[in-house]
Structure 1
Amino acid sequence: MRTPFNPLQAAILKALTEALFHGVDMRITSAQVVANLQHQFGMFEGNKPKEIGLSLYLVCFLLGGPFFLLFGPAWGAKRVAKRLARSQNNLMQDLARIRGVIYAGYYGHWVGAVEEDNDDNPVLNAIGFELPHQRIRGTGEVPIRLFPGRDLAHDDVLAPNEAPDTVGVIVIGSGAGGAVAAANLAQHHDVLVIEAGAHYPSAAITHEERRMTARLFVDGGLQTSRDHDIVIFQGHCVGGSTVINNGIALRVKQAGMTHPQANDVFANWAALGAPVDAERFNAAYHAVEKRLGVEPIDQKSGRNNGTHLLNGWAAHAAASSDPMDAASPALWFSKNYGPRELNADCAYCGYCNTGCPYGRKQGMAQSFLIDARSSGAKILMQTKVEKIIWAESDLDGRRVATGVEVLQPDGSRRTIRATKGVVVAAGTMASSRILDKSGIEGTGEGISLNIACPVVALMPGTMRAWDEDQMATYVDRGDFLLESHFQPPMSMSTLMPGWFGDHAGRMLNYSRLASAGILFPADRQGRLIGGKLHFKLRDDVELPLLRRALATLTRVHFAAGAEEVYPALTRGPILRKGDDIDLFYEQGIREADDVTLSSSHPQGGNGRNADPEKGVVDLDCRVHGTANVLVTDASTFTSCIRVNAQLTTMAMSHYATAGNPFV
């Protein structure tokens, strides 16, 4: 395997490791951390390792150049504290994010190839973490083992050199939008699904976090907005982001599950010129939910961290005089882990975001792609669509797609013909890039995000929040959501605020931690510039909402009995009972750089609208001015839907393709 960091870059990584862990009892050496990072980044596709390598030079220069490398860990720790940990300079705050890379190299330490090789993993043992195979399940518990027979077979997926020359319909993308479209269209046409990533059936998924994040995510999970303020998580594999999400299935509006005073998404769309037929759309929701076996999760799968959020919210709401709090649903998530009658319940191992190795989550490769394949569709992996190929316009002056140009792993390009049409469903950013390269105007504008921010709490007793479903419960506050979540060690370490011994101490308390996050909408504030997402939070809209949501979650943690709360602020401060919570966030968050933000739900960019001047696609998701090109992913959302996007993306795809649009 290649080593992406040269000797000087490796020396900088080693010095950074020794500075960040100065005074800490490390269980592996700094040289081993560097070797771990070489291994992890050696599995990345794309330019992210090169980008990180170049940033290391700048970090080293700003920390003292050769002196940082030569004067030892104590001197280096002082420089890191002064220039990175305590700085409020935007550049320094961006560079400070390199700490997450170092922590991933330490807490992502992995021995051998399988779980059993890590029974004596010194890093995992030090924080009290047990791998799933080490956990003892009692009577009535779901066994941690494979539920067989659900996966798309590897033989059902074509290698790049097996691509056909001509098909009826080409579907670009195999995630939530593409797979549903392919299943519907394959009942009427010869369909080819083209996916840029590789195929990872359940048997190929492991609990080696560093490997799975490198393989399953765009940019290995390090994709960011242009200014690095927001991390954007997206899948890069057959099945798309449904492979790496938590299976959450929320409608935009559903009695008893949605705050009664929350923005009405369908009403917003109608006001913007993009109405949906509510009866048809709800039928699409129902069809998807039925196929995926969506139902509320078993409460034992979230008995620790999930229950913590519900208990904390109940205590907080009971003491609140705000009617918005009183009206907030606080519930267990509904997910596509079932149906329970098949004994296919989630095994709640806590690793949803790096893929389910047990075949229990019904992602697209366990459901709609299988349906598409059963109807004769072909699925082509590791092939990137560059642009749509056009013929002369038809008699009505509309552009007619005749195929796509693809880039293969060896760097060669070829054309695959389509006799009926093309469906674009590669996700908000990739779909926008493809359409832009294809000459479609107005793409990549009005992008929305559901933005997440974690808050960790130290509890007085053992929580073992890692021994359950990663995300089990939620509160819909109307203007934002609170969601329970907990991560395996490598991912948790990158989210954990704090520096030096503070960070290490918090990780040593891993089994006493509870965690949840806020999810708030940032509506139509983004656009693509040079293919990268430009996204800024407004001082008078998103930033006050961010502060208020974090303050609420902090109070919920304390109401549930937390001793300390660690909000994800760059400088890593602590909140204790009696602190002025509102003042803390008012002073601590002045801009997005001050806090750790991420999004797994990019939306918009190719929004629906009846008016071609206001949207890229029409009300049937057909690209304006074209005869046979549809877009069926979240990029069609006219405004932010506020809740987790998986189910609505699938429903939109079903809404657009159930009636055979290529007749």
Structure 2
Amino acid sequence: MIIKPESLPGDVRREADVVVIGSGAGGGPIAKELAEAGYSVVVIEEGGHFTREDFDFRAADAFTRLYRDASQTVALGLPAIVVPQGKTVGGTTTVNSGTCLRIPRHVLKRWHLEHGLKDIGEDELNLLYAALEEYLFVKRADPEVAGKNNLLFLEHAGKLGYSGGFLPRNAKDCEGFGVCAYGCPSGAKQSANVSFIPDAVAAGADVYTHCRAERILVRNGRATGVRGHFTDPRTGARTQRLEVHASVVVLSAGAIQTPSMLMHNRICLSSGWVGENLSIHPCGATLALMPEVVGNPKGIPQSTYVDEFAPEGIMLEGVTLPPAVMAITLPWGGRRHAETMRDYPFIASYGSMISEHDSAGKVVAGPSARQPLTFYNLGREDLDRLKRSILLMAEIWFAAGAKRVYTPIDGFKELSGPRDFMRLSRARLKRASVYGLSAYHPMGTCRMGSDPYASVVKSTCETWEVENLFICDASVLPTSLGVNPQLTIMALAMRTAGFIDEKLESAPTKGEEAGRLERLRARLRSEKEAVARRLSGESTPR
């Protein structure tokens, strides 16, 4: 069941087979898989639990209720970059755009060659991806609700000869309200809060909300449980204490909070890689003043993409800025700000995402486990790639008839035509000259690998140093993916659940790859049955 602190008479002390910290793309699938396998599962979630009736379109309420730091977590450096993180049941899956892309083949090959992860095979991942895509109703965005903003950009990118299309999304009967970042009010988006977590609860898992994990209990080199406390949802003050003793602990708090937890517990630190290797997919956005009404924010915020330049590490993806968000991102104030906001019905937007080559970031321990410090500096090569992405978007917008294009580059905030375009193309930018950047995919801070001296977790996601402590979230991804990572995190979580199941059953896991794949196929057949039950309405109502 979902358990809120106000329903508890006092402190909680209990036992379970598995305790999971976090309920997002990593923790959600693991909780579901293991609960359905018959294990007693406890999920600890720092945020609150909300249903679609709670999602009311208001930006300020959504940011304060559903995000960490009211969506203003910042990676310090040149330039400073906002890195929003979900803090609610479902984690960031509750507030993302629902894009579900598989790992590019060249990235998986890099994992094999550079990180020794050859046992994470393409065939196995494809089985997991296929099962997840069916379970989450993943399909290409419907052009009927894709939004004029996205359709306009895709059309004119195609006219310029650039490849692209409609993004696959985990949405069932999407109505295109355009407020994915505030929580889906229709329940169409199959984020963890309406898929994995309800199914885990239906199978017997308990989810404690507004509960902060503080200590991972370790005895004789083995994880034995978690200690934490509840908080008052209104004041944030500590209330009851919680202690769960378990055979297996799973840490799925995300690529910023997970290394912070390890650092404050002083565990798994000998390799020196905890908190290092941070990649974030830095994102830039352009706004375009169009001659006709665009109709934002109606339509799917992220429904189309242009991947012509993916081999260069540049992915262009749709982004729709609701009025409240656009108001705080404009680079000017006063009368100019007011005039631009009056033009809102005519303003289109699109975004770019950079797969890092020479940027560097890390997470370090802050004053408390919940307040880590994040540092990130954009490299010269990646800065040039970001500039190129801005130029590409401007080119496409001008081809679509834009009167002006607004950019996040100081000295080039407004492009009015070919002369401005050429000036920007010739400019050598400084890192301090770009502003308003954001990033939505922190990864890599507890990377997996085959070498205990160069990684934090094994390919099974069990830590090298503490037995029965598993980490499964974006922090284990050893490299930048170049695409939205949630589907890959979920696939690794499903895979990790299989290893935990084997460990709890004391089943052998080495030298039996064929047998393990057969067991995986059997599990995936049961997933198809779960999909059928969901379609017939037998699972927990959402």
**C-alpha separation in 1, matches of 2:242 and 2:89:** 21
**C-alpha separation in 2, matches of 1:373 and 1:633:** 20
Bigger RCO (CA 8 Å, 6+ sep): 2
Aligned residue number for residue 265 of structure 1: 107
Using the TM superposition, give the Cα deviation of residue 625 of structure 1 relative to its aligned residue in structure 2, in angstroms.
Answer: 2.1
Q: Aligned pair in 2 of structure 1 residues 488, 204: CA closer, same or farther (>3 Å)?
A: same
**DSSP-derived class of the 1:433 partner:** helix
1:361 partnered with 2:189: yes
- Please list, as runs of the form range in 1=range in 2, the aligned pairs for 1:342-421 lying within 5 A after superposition: 345-392=173-220, 399-409=221-231, 410-411=237-238, 414=241, 416-421=243-248
Q: Aligned pair in 2 of structure 1 residues 637, 586: CA closer, same or farther (>3 Å)?
A: farther
Once the two structures are superposed, what CA deviation does each residue of 1:195-234 show, in whole Å capped at 9, x if it has no partner?
0001111111111111111111110011101247100011
Using the TM superposition, give the Cα deviation of residue 302 of structure 1 relative to its aligned residue in structure 2, in angstroms.
Answer: 1.7
1:486 partnered with 2:333: no
1:156 partnered with 2:2: yes
Aligned residue number for residue 649 of structure 1: 489
Aligned residue number for residue 597 of structure 1: 437
**C-alpha separation in 2, matches of 1:161 and 1:609:** 42
**C-alpha separation in 1, matches of 2:428 and 2:327:** 21
**C-alpha separation in 2, matches of 1:423 and 1:444:** 18
**DSSP-derived class of the 2:261 partner:** helix
Once the two structures are superposed, what CA deviation does each residue of 1:522-579 show, in whole Å capped at 9, x if it has no partner?
257211123211110112x211111111111110111111111011235672101222
**DSSP-derived class of the 1:446 partner:** coil
Q: Aligned pair in 2 of structure 1 residues 579, 280: CA closer, same or farther (>3 Å)?
A: same
2:424 corresponds, among 566, 577, 584, to 584
- Contact 2:104–2:481 (8 Å) recurs in 1: no
Using the TM superposition, give the Cα deviation of residue 585 of structure 1 relative to its aligned residue in structure 2, in angstroms.
Answer: 5.4
Q: Aligned pair in 2 of structure 1 residues 350, 607: CA closer, same or farther (>3 Å)?
A: same
Q: In the alignment, residue 363 of structure 1 is paired with which amino acid?
A: S
**DSSP-derived class of the 2:93 partner:** helix
Aligned residue number for residue 83 of structure 2: 232
Once the two structures are superposed, what CA deviation does each residue of 1:497-537 show, in whole Å capped at 9, x if it has no partner?
33322222111111111110111112572111232111101
Aligned residue number for residue 337 of structure 1: 171
Q: Aligned pair in 2 of structure 1 residues 166, 308: CA closer, same or farther (>3 Å)?
A: same
Aligned residue number for residue 93 of structure 2: 242
Q: Aligned pair in 2 of structure 1 residues 179, 534: CA closer, same or farther (>3 Å)?
A: same
1:185 corresponds, among 34, 38, 44, to 34
Aligned residue number for residue 526 of structure 1: 361
- Contact 2:24–2:252 (8 Å) recurs in 1: yes
- Contact 1:609–1:617 (8 Å) recurs in 2: yes
1:565 corresponds, among 397, 405, 419, to 405
Q: TM-score, normalised by structure 1?
A: 0.69
Aligned residue number for residue 458 of structure 1: 289
Q: Aligned pair in 2 of structure 1 residues 499, 158: CA closer, same or farther (>3 Å)?
A: closer
Q: In the alignment, residue 306 of structure 2 is paired with which amino acid?
A: V
Once the two structures are superposed, what CA deviation does each residue of 1:408-457 show, in whole Å capped at 9, x if it has no partner?
21425745233311001010011111122222203111011111111000
Aligned residue number for residue 44 of structure 1: none
1:222 partnered with 2:66: no
- Contact 1:405–1:413 (8 Å) recurs in 2: no
**C-alpha separation in 2, matches of 1:585 and 1:184:** 51
**C-alpha separation in 2, matches of 1:548 and 1:377:** 48
Provide the aligned C-alpha RMSD in A.
1.9
Q: Aligned pair in 2 of structure 1 residues 231, 303: CA closer, same or farther (>3 Å)?
A: closer
Worse-matched range after superposition: 635-644 or 515-524: 515-524
**C-alpha separation in 1, matches of 2:17 and 2:345:** 54
1:292 partnered with 2:126: no
**C-alpha separation in 2, matches of 1:585 and 1:378:** 55
1:448 partnered with 2:289: no
**DSSP-derived class of the 1:614 partner:** coil
Q: In the alignment, residue 297 of structure 1 is paired with which amino acid?
A: A
Q: Aligned pair in 2 of structure 1 residues 646, 582: CA closer, same or farther (>3 Å)?
A: farther
- Contact 1:486–1:516 (8 Å) recurs in 2: yes
1:471 corresponds, among 302, 307, 312, to 302
Aligned residue number for residue 423 of structure 1: 250
**DSSP-derived class of the 2:503 partner:** coil
- Contact 1:274–1:608 (8 Å) recurs in 2: no
Aligned residue number for residue 205 of structure 1: 55
**C-alpha separation in 2, matches of 1:544 and 1:633:** 30
- Contact 1:420–1:662 (8 Å) recurs in 2: no
1:172 partnered with 2:172: no
Once the two structures are superposed, what CA deviation does each residue of 1:444-475 show, in whole Å capped at 9, x if it has no partner?
11011111111000111111132211111001
**C-alpha separation in 2, matches of 1:483 and 1:586:** 25
**C-alpha separation in 2, matches of 1:506 and 1:473:** 25
User: Which residues of structure 2 form unaligned runs of 5+?
Assistant: 232-236, 366-371, 505-542
The structure whose Rg is larger is 1
- Contact 1:312–1:558 (8 Å) recurs in 2: no
- Contact 1:522–1:542 (8 Å) recurs in 2: yes
**C-alpha separation in 1, matches of 2:219 and 2:7:** 26
**DSSP-derived class of the 2:277 partner:** strand
Using the TM superposition, give the Cα deviation of residue 179 of structure 1 relative to its aligned residue in structure 2, in angstroms.
Answer: 0.1
Q: In the alignment, residue 304 of structure 2 is paired with which amino acid?
A: T
User: Which residues of structure 1 form unaligned runs of 5+?
Assistant: 1-154, 255-263, 318-324, 339-344, 393-398
Aligned residue number for residue 386 of structure 2: 546
**C-alpha separation in 2, matches of 1:640 and 1:517:** 18
Aligned residue number for residue 66 of structure 1: none
Using the TM superposition, give the Cα deviation of residue 189 of structure 1 relative to its aligned residue in structure 2, in angstroms.
Answer: 1.4
Q: In the alignment, residue 615 of structure 1 is paired with which amino acid?
A: S
- Contact 1:609–1:618 (8 Å) recurs in 2: yes
Q: In the alignment, residue 333 of structure 1 is paired with which amino acid?
A: L
1:498 partnered with 2:326: no
Aligned residue number for residue 157 of structure 2: 313
Q: TM-score, normalised by structure 2?
A: 0.84
Q: In the alignment, residue 22 of structure 2 is paired with which amino acid?
A: G
**C-alpha separation in 1, matches of 2:223 and 2:318:** 45
- Please list, as runs of the form range in 1=range in 2, the aligned pairs for 1:9-88 lying within 5 A after superposition: none
**C-alpha separation in 1, matches of 2:94 and 2:411:** 33
**C-alpha separation in 2, matches of 1:414 and 1:403:** 14
Using the TM superposition, give the Cα deviation of residue 160 of structure 1 relative to its aligned residue in structure 2, in angstroms.
Answer: 6.8
**DSSP-derived class of the 1:443 partner:** coil
- Contact 2:225–2:247 (8 Å) recurs in 1: no
- Please list, as runs of the form range in 1=range in 2, the aligned pairs for 1:125-136 lying within 5 A after superposition: none
**DSSP-derived class of the 2:356 partner:** strand
- Contact 2:217–2:227 (8 Å) recurs in 1: yes
Using the TM superposition, give the Cα deviation of residue 582 of structure 1 relative to its aligned residue in structure 2, in angstroms.
Answer: 4.7
Q: Aligned pair in 2 of structure 1 residues 657, 608: CA closer, same or farther (>3 Å)?
A: same
Q: Aligned pair in 2 of structure 1 residues 183, 158: CA closer, same or farther (>3 Å)?
A: same
Task: State how many pairs are aligned.
Answer: 477
**DSSP-derived class of the 2:86 partner:** coil
Worse-matched range after superposition: 573-582 or 179-188: 573-582
**C-alpha separation in 2, matches of 1:654 and 1:498:** 46
Using the TM superposition, give the Cα deviation of residue 303 of structure 1 relative to its aligned residue in structure 2, in angstroms.
Answer: 4.1
Aligned residue number for residue 252 of structure 1: 103
Aligned residue number for residue 369 of structure 2: none
**C-alpha separation in 2, matches of 1:414 and 1:610:** 38
